[in-house]
Amino acid sequence: MLKLINHHWQYRWERFYNKNKWHLILDLLFLVLIFTLLALLAGLSIYKPALNLNNSLSSTVANTPIDLNNPPLNIETSLATSSANIEDGVNLKIILTNNNDRALNKLELKFSVLLNDFSINRVELINKTDTDILINDTDLILPDLAANSKREINLKVYFKNKNNDSKEINWSLNDSYSINNQNFTSEINLPIVRIASVLSVEARAYYNSPQGDQLGAGPLPPLVGLPTNYWIFVEAKADGNFSDFVYSARLPKGVEITGNRSVLSGDYNYNKDSRELIWRIPLVEANLSDYRIGFEVQLIPTANQTDKILPLLSSAHYSAQEISGDKIKINEDSVSPDTNLFYDTINKGQGEVSK
C-alpha cells in the first residue's frame, strides 16, 4: 500500500508538481477538504437528535401570546324581560363563543350580586338536555368548549330580597378557564334586573269590627226572608308607585247596597243597572296605608239558598299601571268576601243560611 502511494507521488511530482507548484497546492487543498467533509460526516452519524414535529407545533401554538383585549372566550347575555316578580325569577340566556384554535378547559361561570340588597337563591337549567353542566350551589361547571365553537345556555335565576325598598339588581358574571394550562379570568356586568312592584287588594266582610264594635244588623247566621246587613272594606297596598288604579266588583243575586259608605281615598261609584261598584284612585303610592273604602250591603236569602254560604261580592278584579315600568297589572281577587266572615273574629263561621 505504501509502495503504491509512493509510486503515485513520484509520478505526480515528475509530471506536475516539479514543473508547477500550483498543482501541488491545489491537490493539498482538495485533500484537506476531503478529510474535513469526512470528519463532518462522521460527526453527524454519531449525533442523531430526536425530532418531534407535533410537539414543536404544539409548543409554538401554546406559546403564542393571547391578546387580553380580545380574549378567547366571548360571552353574550340577555334577559327575557327586564322587569320580573322576585318570586318568579328571571330567564337569563348566555351564549359562549370560543374564538381560539384551542379548546377551553376547566370552564366555570360564577354569579355575583354587586350590592347587599339582594342575593342569589338558586340557579336552574331550563333546557333539560344540558346534562353535562354541573351546578354547584349557584356556580356553573361546564365541559370543555371546543375550538372555534359556540354554546347557548338558558337559565332561571332566583333571588332573595334583603331590602324591600331596593328595586334593582346589579349583578355580574365571572368566568374562568384555561388554555394549555394557562389560566384566564374575566368579569362582565349582566343586564340590570328591575324587581316589579307588588300591588295587592283585599276585600273583607265584617259584622263586628276587629275592635268588637257591631257594624252589621240582622240575624246571624242569616235567615231565609230576613235582611242581614254586613260591612265590606276594600284596601289597596303597594310597595311601589302605581297609577290609574281601578277596582270593580258586582253584587250577587239577593245582595243589595245601602247608602252607607266610607271613602278614605279615591272615587267610589255604584251602577244600579249593572249592579257594579267601581273604585278609582289616580295614584297609589308605595307603603301608604290610607287607600281604603267601606260600604254596607244587605242580604235577604231565599229558600233555595238554605244551608249555603253566600258570596257578598262577585267578579272582583283590579288593575293599575306601574309608574316605573311598562307593565299593566291585572289581577283577579282570589278571596271574595262571603257570609262566613273569615276575618270577623267574633262571628267567623256563621255563614250558612238557616230557615
Taking only the tens place, the pLDDT of each residue in 259-271 is 899 999 999 999 9
pLDDT at 6 over 80: no
Length of the chain: 355
**3-state DSSP call for residue 205?**
strand
Where do the H-state alpha helices sit in the chain? 2-12, 21-46, 53-62
The C-alpha cell at 248 is 270593580
* Range list of β-strands (E), 15-129: 73-79, 83-84, 90-98, 105-113, 118-125
**Per-residue pLDDT tens digits for 79-122:** 988 777 888 889 999 999 999 999 999 999 999 998 888 999 99
**Confidence label for 19 from pLDDT (cuts 50, 70 and 90):** low
Angle CA 143–144–146, to nearest 5: 135
Contact 269, 277 (CB under 8 A): yes
What is the arithmetic mean of pLDDT over 24-41?
Answer: 74
Domain(s) of CATH 2.60.40.740: residues in the chain: 73-195
Q: Which residue has the cell 462522521?
A: 42
Q: What is the mean pLDDT of the chain?
A: 85
Q: Which CATH architecture has domain 199-332?
A: Sandwich (2.60)
pLDDT at 236 over 90: yes
**Confidence label for 78 from pLDDT (cuts 50, 70 and 90):** very high
pLDDT at 330: 62
Q: Which residues pair with 140 in a beta bridge?
A: 109, 135
The one-letter amino acid code at 127 reads N
pLDDT at 52: 53
HSE-CB for 347 with a 13 A CA cutoff: 28
**Per-residue pLDDT tens digits for 281-308:** 999 998 888 899 999 999 999 999 999 9
Distance CA 282, CA 289 (A): 15
Instruction: Tell which residue, 142, 150, 107, has the closest CA to residue 125.
Output: 142
Distance CA 69, CA 105 (A): 20
Q: Which residues pair with 152 in a beta bridge?
A: 95
Question: CB within 8 A of 145, min separation 6: which ones?
Answer: 73, 96, 98, 103, 104, 107, 151, 177
Q: What burial class does residue 57 get, using C-beta atoms within 10 Å of its C-beta: 0-12 exposed, 13-18 middle, 19+ buried?
A: exposed
DSSP 8-state assignment for residue 44:
H
Q: Could you tell me the pTM of the whole model?
A: 0.65
- Residue of higher predicted confidence among 198 and 60: 198
Right CATH for 73-195 from 2.60.40.740, 3.30.70.20, 3.40.50.300, 3.40.50.10740? 2.60.40.740
